[in-house]
Structure formats: C-alpha cells, structure tokens
Amino acid sequence: MSANPEVATTHPPSAAALSEEVAEPRAAQQADNIVHSMEVRGVHKTFGDSQVLSGINLDFVDDRITTILGPSGTGKSVLIKHLVGLLEPDKGEVLIFGKDIWNVSENERYELRKRFGVLFQDGALFGSMNLFDNVAFPLRKHTDMKEKDIREFVMGRLTEVGLERSVAKLPNEISGGMRKRAGFARALILEPDIVLFDEPDSGLDPVRTSLLNDLILEMHERHKGTYLVVTHDIRTAHKVSDYVGVIWRGKVVHYSEAAGAFGSEDPFVRQFLSGDSAGPLGMD
Ligand SMILES: Nc1ncnc2c1ncn2[C@@H]1O[C@H](COP(=O)(O)OP(=O)(O)O)[C@@H](O)[C@H]1O
Ligand SMILES: [Mg+2]
C-alpha cells in the first residue's frame, strides 16, 4: 500500500454516529485538523420525488473495515456512488482525503477516483476479456508499466484470490463466486487506499459468502486500507466489521464499533440485526 503522508493512519474512534442531532462531537473533531480518507457530511439526494439520502453523516475510520447495513432499496449503492464521485449530492459534501470531491477540478476528481478500488455488485468485469486482461486493464490504462511487470502484478493478485489457474477464462465461463474474486483482484490492482464493496455477498450461497468474507479479511490484513462493505447480510457484518453503520430511510440510525451495534438496545437496530419480522421495521 502506498503510504500517503497526508493521511493519519488509525485514530481512536470518534463518536462518529453523527446523525444531525449529535453533530457536536464532529465539530470537536474538526478542530483536530486530522485528514481522513472519507467523510460524508449532510448528504441529501433525491431522484424525482423520492428522497433517497436525507442527510447522511459518516466519518469512516482509516485503515479499518466499516460495514454499512440497510434493507434493500435504502440507498446503499447510491451512497457508494457518492463516495467515489459518480453521483453529486443535492446538498452536503463528500470529502476524500480532506477534499470536497465536487469542489475540485475534473482532473483532481479523476485523480481522487484512482485512489479507490470498487467491487461492484456483479463484479462488473468486461465480458469479452479473460480474467488476466480484466485485472490488467487498470494498469494498462492508468500506468506506463511494462507488460512483464504487469504480468507479475496481475498474477500476484489473481493468485491471492485463488484464480491463478483460471486466468484465461472469460467471465461467463466461471462461477459467480469466482467473478467476485476476480472483481476483487481488479479492485486491488492499483493499490488503492480505499476499497468499496457493494454487496459482495449478493447471489452467493452461505459457504461462498463465508469464503469471500475470509478473503476480505485476509486481503485487508495484507494490503491495509480503508474498507467499506455495504451489505444487507448480517452474517457478513458479523464476520468482517470493525465498525457498523445502519442506514434506514436515508439516515444513519446507528454507528459504532461492531460490538456496540450487535449489542444495541435500539429497537430498529435490534430488529434489523437479528433479522426479526416483529418490530418497528415494516414492509414499506
Ligand atoms: N440513478 C438513479 N435514478 C433514479 N433513481 C435511482 C437511481 N439510483 C438509485 N435510485 C433509486 O434510489 C433508491 C435506492 O437505491 P439503491 O441505492 O440502489 O438501494 P440499495 O440500498 O438496495 O443499494 C431506489 O429506490 C432506486 O430506485
Ligand atoms: Mg445496492
């Protein structure tokens, strides 16, 4: 992982629950002038007449794995797209390494995006390219590395995710779990400071989900970085999280260290994290 001198590595967890009602601790934290990899401040987003994000505040803890949980359709993917600068907030801001991603030049936004690795829900591989070329693509596009070095790098990543024998396969010739692992290898290829996972567990059976979660932990241990895992799968959250946030109806309703989330007294958080049908969370 390329160290960035600007970025403090780990820091003690702030009281970063940070729904608007508890904005005080954040104000105190701002005074420290610590630059974090990702901060979300009061982000609102409406599509047509449906308000999807209604003032999201999140301070991610650097070099840790944060899981954001929320029911389907709550805006988890929309949040990821805001983090990586693919969607612009109607109101509020997203700071990446202290820079408002929509208040910098196009060029700077592009440079900031290169510090992210993103594993989209379906792996988002190019269907006409084999796994080797899929993983090599960001290196060929964004660096002037020689093919020999590219080969070494790509094979290194593909070996780490257990795909060294499938490099010549096309995405539609391999299983969903393998596609996710290939997407993961590609997400890591530029040695990103931040890795975002959009429902890495979707479409996988429990065993493959568990194996992928092991891989997330292993790769985080090896490469470090600030990881955000968005999911609606409580088992995934249990397994990989250092911190857990829960979003519902466009707001962060809980944010704490993992143990605090799973021990929460809040009726909504309890219902959601236990997967109960009885409780405040209804079908709407
Ligand atoms: N580009 C878009 N245009 C219009 N509506 C969108 C767009 N992206 C997402 N939405 C809507 O925003 C809501 C949240 O979507 P999403 O973030 O995908 O939910 P999830 O939590 O399941 O990832 C959904 O109602 C979806 O239809
Ligand atoms: Mg989604």
Ligand 1 center–CA 48 separation, angstroms: 11
Q: Taking residues 94-122, what's their average pLDDT?
A: 92
pLDDT more than 90, % of the chain: 65
**Residue 22: inside a domain, yes or no?**
no
Note the pLDDT of residue 278: 66
Nearest ligand to the C-alpha of residue 87? Answer: 1
Length of the chain: 284
Residues 6 or more apart from 35 whose CB is under 8 A from it? 6, 7, 8, 97, 98
Pocket test for ligand 1, best of 47, 49, 90, 228 (most atoms within 8 A of CB): 47
Residue type, 149: D
**CB 171 near ligand 1, within 6 Å:** no
Residue ranges with strand state E in 135-267: 194-198, 226-231, 243-248, 251-257
Cα–Cα distances (Å) from 128 to 4, 125, 136, 279, in that order, read 35, 9, 14, 47
Residues 6 or more apart from 144 whose CB is under 8 A from it? none
**CB 98 near ligand 1, within 6 Å:** no
The Cα 185–Cα 279 span in angstroms is 40
Ligand 1 center–CA 46 separation, angstroms: 10
**Residue 8: inside a domain, yes or no?**
no
Q: How confident is the model at residue 201 (pLDDT cuts 50, 70, 90)?
A: confident
**Residue 31: inside a domain, yes or no?**
no
**Residue 141: inside a domain, yes or no?**
no
Q: Which atom of ligand 1 is nearest the CA belonging to 71?
A: 21
Inter-residue contact 264 to 258 (CB < 8 Å): no
**CB 14 near ligand 1, within 6 Å:** no
Q: Which of 27-41, 135-149, 162-176 has the lowest mean pLDDT?
A: 27-41
Residue nearest to atom 27 of ligand 1 (CA): 73
The answer on pLDDT for 193 being more than 50 is yes
The 3-class SS string of 82-125 reads HHCCCCCCCEEEEEECCEECCCCCHHHHHHHHCCEEEECCCCCC
Q: What is the CATH number of the domain that holds 217?
A: 3.40.50.300
**Residue 123: inside a domain, yes or no?**
yes
Helix, strand, coil proportions of the chain in percent (round to 5)? 35, 20, 40
**Residue 9: inside a domain, yes or no?**
no
**CB 45 near ligand 1, within 6 Å:** no
Residue ranges with strand state E in the chain: 38-47, 50-59, 65-69, 91-96, 99-100, 116-119, 194-198, 226-231, 243-248, 251-257
Residues 6 or more apart from 255 whose CB is under 8 A from it? 16, 17, 18, 58, 243, 244, 245, 246
Q: Which two tokens stand for residue 253?
A: 């309703």
Domain of residue 251 covers: 36-127+192-274
Q: How confident is the model at residue 280 (pLDDT cuts 50, 70, 90)?
A: low
The answer on pLDDT for 18 being more than 60 is no
Residue nearest to atom 1 of ligand 1 (CA): 47
Pocket test for ligand 1, best of 52, 74, 201, 249 (most atoms within 8 A of CB): 52
Looking at per-residue pLDDT, the higher value among 22 and 189 belongs to 189
Mean residue pLDDT of the chain comes to: 85
Looking at per-residue pLDDT, the higher value among 242 and 18 belongs to 242
Q: How confident is the model at residue 12 (pLDDT cuts 50, 70, 90)?
A: very low
**Residue 119: inside a domain, yes or no?**
yes
Note the pLDDT of residue 4: 42
Note the pLDDT of residue 261: 86
Consecutive H or E run containing 238: helix 234-240
pLDDT single digits (tens) 66-77: 999 988 888 999
Residue nearest to atom 16 of ligand 1 (CA): 75
C-alpha dihedral (139, 141, 142, 144), degrees to nearest 10 = 70
The Cα 246–Cα 17 span in angstroms is 10
For the whole model, what pTM was predicted?
Answer: 0.84
Inter-residue contact 61 to 212 (CB < 8 Å): no
**Residue 66: inside a domain, yes or no?**
yes
Q: How confident is the model at residue 267 (pLDDT cuts 50, 70, 90)?
A: confident
pLDDT single digits (tens) 81-94: 999 999 999 999 99
Residue nearest to atom 3 of ligand 1 (CA): 47
Closest residue by Cα to residue 181 from 216, 210, 218, 155 = 216
Looking at per-residue pLDDT, the higher value among 9 and 118 belongs to 118
DSSP state of 13: P
The Cα 137–Cα 139 span in angstroms is 5
**CB 47 near ligand 1, within 6 Å:** yes
The answer on pLDDT for 131 being more than 80 is yes
Note the pLDDT of residue 274: 74
Total domains in the fold of the chain: 1
The Cα 53–Cα 136 span in angstroms is 35
Q: Which atom of ligand 1 is nearest the CA belonging to 70?
A: 21
Q: How confident is the model at residue 14 (pLDDT cuts 50, 70, 90)?
A: very low
